[in-house]
Chains A and B, each alone.
Chain A
Amino acid sequence: MSPSTDPVLRVTDLSKHFPVKSGGMMGRTRGSVKAVDGISLEVMAGETLGLVGESGCGKSTAGRTMLKLLDPTGGRIELNGRDITTLSRRQMVPLRREAQMIFQDPYNSLNPRHTVGTIISAPFVVQKVDPPGGIKSAVQSLMERVGLNPEHYNRYPNEFSGGQRQRIGVARAIALQPKLIVCDEPVSALDVSIQAQVVNLLEDLQNDFGMAYVFVAHDLSVVRHISDRVAVMYLGHIMELAGRDELYENPLHPYTHALLSAVPVPDPGAAAKRERILLQGDLPSALNPPAGCVFNTRCWKAEDRCRVEVPLLRTLAEGHEVACHFPQGHLAPGETIVGPAGPLVASDSSLPTPEHLSQNAARARRGQAWQGDDPHDFDPITHIQ
């Protein structure tokens, strides 16, 4: 796995809003759920990008919109350098060879009336690909590759266990050797001992075929294991994006900090020693997200500025992007921080723009160094021993 410099997928300011209509046939739109609200990221060839967050943060919608299974409301999607944002379903068909999807629920994502052979050969039939040796032998070698018995070619999905069904889904996704696979919670429906088998399979396949994964999951431990880089989402926004170890060892966003500290560790000694931050309350409604930083209602460091001004995703260290006005972490006071590079995530055009926001944004666009605020001392509301 040596990620090259060309992105397989580049997403710029992508949003997906679902209109909410009032009742009746002529119902007028009375608002929209901003499931994904302006995210930007790149997926390099052969790398795994983890997309984590709690339910309702928009990670699954983001994954589906990236592959145009949902039509984006705004923004731009480039697959292998080609803009696919406005392509029709029919125009997308040939491109589906490049990008595939693995779904969460191995029970609902396989047609119960089709045999395994039919399911796995579907990509060949749809794309009119004639593999050498015929479709059946290609399917059987795929089955063998993912750890299924090729003799079970004519069986139906209900004859397989959950882990085996997920292998069927994996075989279907890799059939045409795509460059990119979006995996939407691929192991969360499986038992722990089976989870590890499927995670290992995904890693082996990546080593063999060099495809990139977007790994959408809520299990932060699995994401740490499988990802090269990780993006943390909250209410449709990316809060932090960094290399795997950088994010887990040195989280800069208060939300990432709280999220990581909430994961229980299977080690009684470590569990007692770890610090825990208890977030109060629930995720706000995506129909009516808080103004300013979407996390400000649950953040213990929120100040007036956070309630007005949307923090931009800015680069604070090499490859470490954070959307927070008061990032915490191991930053020495007065240290010069690398200025923002790459696309900025800001939906500031649609929001009231306070003067200091536009100043910061303008400075960021000029590529100047971010004049960061003093990093606040770590001061969570609740420590639990």
Chain B
Amino acid sequence: MTLIDTPAAPFDASSFLSVNDLRVQFPTEDGVVKAVDGLSFSLERGRTLAIVGESGSGKSVTSQAIMGLINRASATIEGQVVLEGQDLIAMSNEDVRRLRGTTMAMIFQDPLSSLHPYYSISRQLVEAVRVHQKVSKADARKQCISMLDRVGIPSAEKRIDDFPHQLSGGMRQRVMIAMALLNSPDLLIADEPTTALDVTVQAQIIDLLKSIQQEFNTAIIIITHDLGVVADTADDVAVMYAGRVVEYGSVEGVYRRPQMPYTLGLLASVPRIDRARVTRLDPIPGTPPSLIALPSGCAFRPRCTFSAEVPDNLCSDVRPDLVEAADGHQVSCHLTPEKRLRNADAMFALLDGRSEAGVQAATPSDPESGDPA
């Protein structure tokens, strides 16, 4: 091995947020569900980390564990979540509750079921202010109106008395964002913030999150399955599979030189709007594993097309560690660095080759058709 293969950067408690070897397990009748199985990352203020993965990869459980939203009676949580020097896992529920809202806040996927249908927007927002600040109702209401205004709700002083059902999906998501920002948190976790929204509204919300980050220097964790949203919003990306991070690095590095076969598969299987049709999509074969009975060794091995290239049954016997493959780019895979890079190059060559052929065949009569912008 010629390329650097050093162990991943050790746990760095000086970061704004650092998560070290987080494990969340839910005991069930059928066995123990290892929803998050040894997760580590760190995040600085003003940066955005995207956590991508399919359903059941543990991305939402990770965010709930950080926010202290998992009932400790029904799950075992191990590891460290250190936010500005304080370990949230070791803290009491009461102390975490005090941080929730002021230091960290969350935006949920479904704005309709996350807002109470029975109470007006104003009542729900004013409550969120007065839990953490000693202010009068009138002052809290003023704060809420200016925040609604800030997130782009027209005539906020009128709409604040509406009920959730009177607002559209995009407006409800703006209310959720306003609620999360009321006590100016330093960490914002957005769990699939745009999945329930239409693309034109999604563009508005992404734009809003970016400008809020610039204004308040917030650290954002965005959880999504949409690779396009990641490329659009995040600085760093963690790809999760079966409760573990399998690839971590800057968005640029991971998208340009994906090294883990799963990331490669994800990028190859999505059709792209800015490319002419490829002859055929390359799906990842099979389905994600059950979190109760994970495959031995690498959890992705049963679906991996390259595991035959690894000698000594390493893939089925030994679970690969997350190791540094390039500057800040970590991968959990037994393939040699040369093979991983060769696979990435082959995939891009394949995609480019196909799409160029497609463009030529598509509209030869229109000379300007190749320039969509």
Chain A positions within 8 Å of B, measured between CB atoms, are 54-55, 161, 163-164, 191-197, 199-200, 203, 218, 220-222, 224-225, 243-246, 248-251, 258-271, 273-276, 278-283, 330, 384
Question: Given the interface contacts A192-B266, A195-B269, A282-B170, does A266 sit within 8 Å of B283 by beta carbon?
Answer: no
Question: Given the interface contacts A193-B54, A193-B269, does A245 sit within 8 Å of B200 by beta carbon?
Answer: no
Question: Given the interface contacts A199-B281, A264-B232, does A224 sit within 8 Å of B271 by beta carbon?
Answer: yes
Residues of B contacting A264 with CB < 8 Å? Answer: 202-203, 206, 226, 228-229, 231-232
Residues of B contacting A218 with CB < 8 Å? Answer: 198-199
Residues of B contacting A225 with CB < 8 Å? Answer: 271, 277-278, 281
Interface residues on B, range: 35 or more
Residues of B contacting A220 with CB < 8 Å? Answer: 199, 273
In the assembled complex, the CB of A36 is this many whole angstroms from the nearest CB of chain B, namely 18
In the assembled complex, the CB of B351 is this many whole angstroms from the nearest CB of chain A, namely 10
CA distance A249 to B360 in the complex (A): 13
Could you write out 10 A-B pairs with CB less than 8 Å apart?
A: A161-B287, A193-B54, A193-B266, A194-B287, A249-B363, A249-B366, A266-B255, A267-B255, A270-B231, A282-B171
Which 3 A-B residue pairings sit nearest by Cβ, starting from the closest? Answer: A264-B228, A196-B283, A225-B271
The interface bits of chain B over 198-241 (1 if a CB of A lies within 8 angstroms of the residue's CB, else 0) are 11111110110000000000000000011111111000000000
A245 and B369 within 8 A (CB) = yes
A282 and B201 within 8 A (CB) = yes
From B278, B287, B362, B371, give the contact of A245 (CB < 8 A). B362
B200 and A262 within 8 A (CB) = yes
Residues of A contacting B206 with CB < 8 Å? Answer: 264
CA distance A258 to B204 in the complex (A): 12
CA distance A330 to B288 in the complex (A): 46
CA distance A30 to B16 in the complex (A): 57
In the assembled complex, the CB of A204 is this many whole angstroms from the nearest CB of chain B, namely 9
CA distance A272 to B280 in the complex (A): 27
- Interface status of B270 (Cβ within 8 A of chain A): yes
From A193, A196, A248, A283, give the contact of B372 (CB < 8 A). A248
Residues of B contacting A250 with CB < 8 Å? Answer: 363, 366, 368-369, 372
Q: A54-B201, A268-B255, A273-B373 are in contact. List 16 more A-B contacts (CB 8 A).
A: A164-B287, A191-B54, A193-B266, A195-B270, A196-B282, A221-B228, A222-B271, A246-B366, A249-B362, A250-B372, A262-B200, A266-B228, A267-B272, A274-B274, A279-B203, A282-B170
- Interface status of B55 (Cβ within 8 A of chain A): yes
Task: With a 10 A CB-CB cut-off, give which of A200, A266, A270, A281 has the most chain B CB atoms.
Answer: A266
Tell me which residues from 146 to 189 in chain B have a Cβ below 8 Å from any Cβ of chain A. 154, 168-171
Residues of B contacting A283 with CB < 8 Å? Answer: 168, 198
A265 and B200 within 8 A (CB) = no
Residues of B contacting A263 with CB < 8 Å? Answer: 199, 228, 273
A224 and B273 within 8 A (CB) = yes
A246 and B369 within 8 A (CB) = yes
A268 and B252 within 8 A (CB) = yes
Residues of B contacting A249 with CB < 8 Å? Answer: 276, 362-363, 366, 369-372
CA distance A248 to B363 in the complex (A): 11
CA distance A251 to B58 in the complex (A): 40
CA distance A271 to B199 in the complex (A): 15
- Closest residue of chain B to A204 (Cβ to Cβ) is B280
B283 and A197 within 8 A (CB) = yes
- Interface status of B323 (Cβ within 8 A of chain A): no
- Interface status of B193 (Cβ within 8 A of chain A): no
A259 and B199 within 8 A (CB) = yes
CA distance A203 to B279 in the complex (A): 10
B225 and A200 within 8 A (CB) = no
Residues of A contacting B373 with CB < 8 Å? Answer: 273-275
In the assembled complex, the CB of A206 is this many whole angstroms from the nearest CB of chain B, namely 13
B230 and A245 within 8 A (CB) = no
Question: Given the interface contacts A225-B278, A250-B366, A283-B168, does A163 sit within 8 Å of B287 by beta carbon?
Answer: yes
CA distance A279 to B205 in the complex (A): 11
B272 and A265 within 8 A (CB) = yes
- Closest residue of chain B to A245 (Cβ to Cβ) is B362
- Closest residue of chain B to A285 (Cβ to Cβ) is B168
Question: Given the interface contacts A218-B199, A249-B372, A268-B252, does A196 sit within 8 Å of B287 by beta carbon?
Answer: no
B200 and A259 within 8 A (CB) = yes
- Closest residue of chain B to A201 (Cβ to Cβ) is B283
CA distance A263 to B198 in the complex (A): 10
B265 and A193 within 8 A (CB) = yes
From A55, A267, A274, A330, give the contact of B368 (CB < 8 A). A330
Residues of B contacting A269 with CB < 8 Å? Answer: 252, 256
- Interface status of B112 (Cβ within 8 A of chain A): no
CA distance A194 to B281 in the complex (A): 11
CA distance A377 to B8 in the complex (A): 52
- Closest residue of chain A to B275 (Cβ to Cβ) is A224
Residues of A contacting B168 with CB < 8 Å? Answer: 282-283
B283 and A268 within 8 A (CB) = no
CA distance A175 to B52 in the complex (A): 37
In the assembled complex, the CB of B313 is this many whole angstroms from the nearest CB of chain A, namely 25
B274 and A270 within 8 A (CB) = yes
- Interface status of B49 (Cβ within 8 A of chain A): no
- Interface status of B267 (Cβ within 8 A of chain A): yes
In the assembled complex, the CB of B19 is this many whole angstroms from the nearest CB of chain A, namely 24
In the assembled complex, the CB of A255 is this many whole angstroms from the nearest CB of chain B, namely 9
From A164, A258, A265, A330, give the contact of B231 (CB < 8 A). A265
CA distance A221 to B229 in the complex (A): 13
Residues of B contacting A191 with CB < 8 Å? Answer: 54-55, 225, 288
A271 and B232 within 8 A (CB) = yes
Question: Given the interface contacts A54-B198, A191-B55, A278-B207, does A265 sit within 8 Å of B273 by beta carbon?
Answer: yes
- Closest residue of chain B to A244 (Cβ to Cβ) is B277
